[in-house]
């Protein structure tokens, strides 16, 4: 296992992994009556690469690609005009944007302009995100709903022994739990996006958090054995959110260990942090997938995972929660041998 590749949760900078706030932020630039740049908001700075300080007082031509903004400055006073423009980044690259231009007439007959813009490339990223969301969520909703419907119809239509009836009700309950977890995950994703992740921060006994996470798992102890070796360790954090991190990692350890085997949770003290390791002896993850598994909606499509359900949100949420604690997650894996996730958490608030 130690020979397996190691990847950290934040190495893969996929555009869709950025918080939605960053993807959606609109750039705003103000121009004075002489068409000189007066101000850029932080989104305009990050989208164009120009620092507000270096552009203040410069001619608008600095910010427009080739056209010098002729279209923008021909807008009449009043409501915004919607335009398609090409800006110029700090590196001199063209940046096609959708823009709204407001022209404000002063009492002395002069005009000032406000340009609000959104890069066209970002619109494509959002479209892609929306499509992924719709296809993942509808697939993840359909599978348990179909099972619930089928088992409920069979229960309604047929006489059956008590034991089978209990079994069918058990499946319905399990599938309803799966639906409820999906809804919880979706709600958690919206919290990740709005950065309201931690409700409180206290010194938490790790054993208690891990036991709560293990207690929330659905697994058959005859097939999977979960062992915790973490006596007496504490970490600093929000106990509920830490439980969510470990529940996600442990659920995966069970889900992706179809042959059963052992899942082990260990903790060791490092300077200023505690490292919690969750190891399984399951199907493992091929190295080409490792950089992406913390991405939103990323799932490994392989024969060994084809029958395992999931939304591709668990690791995205776990990674975001650990980062919100000021920690980090790494993964080591060897296909066919197993996987180890290492969660580094601060010990002091």
Binding site for ligand ADP (CB under 6 A): 248, 252-253, 256, 280, 282-285, 293, 298-300, 305, 310-316, 339
The Cα–Cα gap between 270 and 274 comes to 6
CB of 229 to ligand ADP, least distance (A): 18
**Between residues 50 and 224, which has the closer beta carbon with respect to ligand ADP?**
224
Under DSSP, is residue 125 helix (H, G, I), strand (E, B) or coil? helix
Residues shown for the chain: 349
Least distance from C-beta 146 to ligand ADP, angstroms? 18
257 Cβ neighbours under 8 A, 6+ residues apart:
224, 263, 280, 281, 282, 283, 338
- CB–CB of 282/264 below 8 Å? no
What six digits make up the tokens of 165? 């009836």
287, 295 contact by CB (below 8 A): no
Q: List strand residue ranges (DSSP E) for 125-260, in order.
A: 202-205, 224-229, 234-237
Of 122 and 332, the one with the shorter C-beta distance to ligand ADP is 332
Of all residues in the shown chain, the one whose CB is closest to ligand ADP is 310
User: Is 96 within 8 Å of 16 (Cβ atoms)?
Assistant: no
| Residue matched to tokens 């604690």 | 325
What are the structure tokens assigned to 88, written together?
């110029």
Query: Which helix or strand (DSSP H or E) is residue 331 part of?
Result: strand 328-334
Shortest separation between residue 291's beta carbon and ligand ADP, angstroms: 12
Residue with Cβ nearer ligand ADP (88 or 181): 181
Closest to ligand ADP by CB, 87 or 313: 313
User: How distant, in Å, are the alpha carbons of 64, 150, 284 from that of 68?
Assistant: 5, 64, 55
Rounded least distance, CB 299 to ligand ADP, Å: 4
* Of 233 and 311, CB closest to ligand ADP: 311
Query: In angstroms, what is the minimal distance from the CB of 348 to ligand ADP?
Result: 29
In the complex with ligand ADP, the residue whose CB is nearer, 37 or 263, is: 263
Q: How many helices (H) and strands (E) does the chain have?
A: 9, 13
C-alpha span between 4 and 42 (Å, rounded)? 41
Cβ of residue 254: shortest distance to ligand ADP, in angstroms? 9
Distance, in Å, from the CA atom of 52 to the CA atom of 58, rounded to the nearest integer, reads 10
Contact 116, 100 (CB under 8 A): yes
CB of 83 to ligand ADP, least distance (A): 40
| Sheet of strand 273-280, all strands in order from the earlier edge strand to the far edge | 5-8, 328-334, 338-346, 273-280, 261-270, 224-229
By three-state DSSP, how is residue 174 classified? helix
Task: Quote the least distance from Cβ 285 to ligand ADP, whole Å.
Answer: 5
Q: Looking at beta carbons only, is 45 or 185 nearer to ligand ADP?
A: 185
Q: Which is nearer to ligand ADP, 187 or 203 (CB)?
A: 187
Q: Which is nearer to ligand ADP, 151 or 341 (CB)?
A: 341
Return the DSSP state at 62: G
Q: How far is the CB of 147 from ligand ADP (least distance, A)?
A: 17
């Amino acid at each position: 296992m130690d020979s397996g590749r190691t990847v950290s949760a934040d190495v893969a900078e996929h555009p869709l992994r950025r918080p939605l706030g960053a993807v959606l932020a609109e750039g705003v630039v103000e121009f004075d009556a002489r068409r000189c740049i007066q101000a850029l908001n932080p989104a305009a700075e990050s989208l164009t690469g120009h620092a507000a300080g270096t552009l203040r007082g410069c001619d608008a031509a600095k910010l427009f690609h080739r056209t010098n903004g002729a279209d923008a400055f021909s807008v009449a006073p009043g409501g915004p005009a919607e335009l398609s423009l090409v800006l110029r980044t700090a590196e001199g690259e063209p940046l096609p944007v959708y823009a709204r231009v407001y022209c404000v007439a002063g009492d002395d007959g002069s005009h000032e302009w406000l340009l609000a813009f959104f890069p066209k490339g970002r619109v494509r990223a959002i479209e892609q995100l929306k499509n992924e969301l719709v296809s993942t969520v509808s697939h993840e909703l359909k599978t348990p709903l179909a099972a619930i419907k089928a088992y409920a119809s069979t229960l309604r239509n047929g006489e059956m022994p008590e034991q089978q009836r209990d079994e069918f009700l058990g499946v319905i309950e399990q599938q309803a739990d799966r639906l409820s977890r999906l809804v919880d995950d979706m709600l958690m994703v919206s919290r990740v996006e709005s950065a309201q992740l931690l409700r409180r921060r206290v010194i938490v006994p790790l054993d208690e958090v891990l036991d709560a996470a293990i207690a929330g798992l659905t697994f058959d102890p005859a097939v999977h054995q979960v062992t915790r070796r973490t006596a007496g360790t504490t970490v600093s954090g929000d106990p509920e959110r830490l439980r969510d991190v470990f529940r996600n990692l442990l659920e995966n350890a069970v889900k992706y260990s179809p042959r059963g085997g052992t899942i082990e949770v260990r903790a060791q003290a490092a300077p200023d942090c505690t490292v919690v390791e969750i190891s399984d002896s399951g199907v493992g993850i091929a190295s080409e997938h490792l950089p992406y598994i913390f991405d939103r909606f990323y799932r490994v499509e392989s024969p060994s995972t084809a029958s395992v359900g999931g939304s591709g949100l668990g690791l995205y949420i776990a990674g975001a929660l650990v980062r919100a604690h000021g920690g980090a997650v790494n993964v080591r894996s060897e296909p066919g041998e197993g996987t180890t996730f290492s969660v580094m958490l601060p010990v002091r608030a």
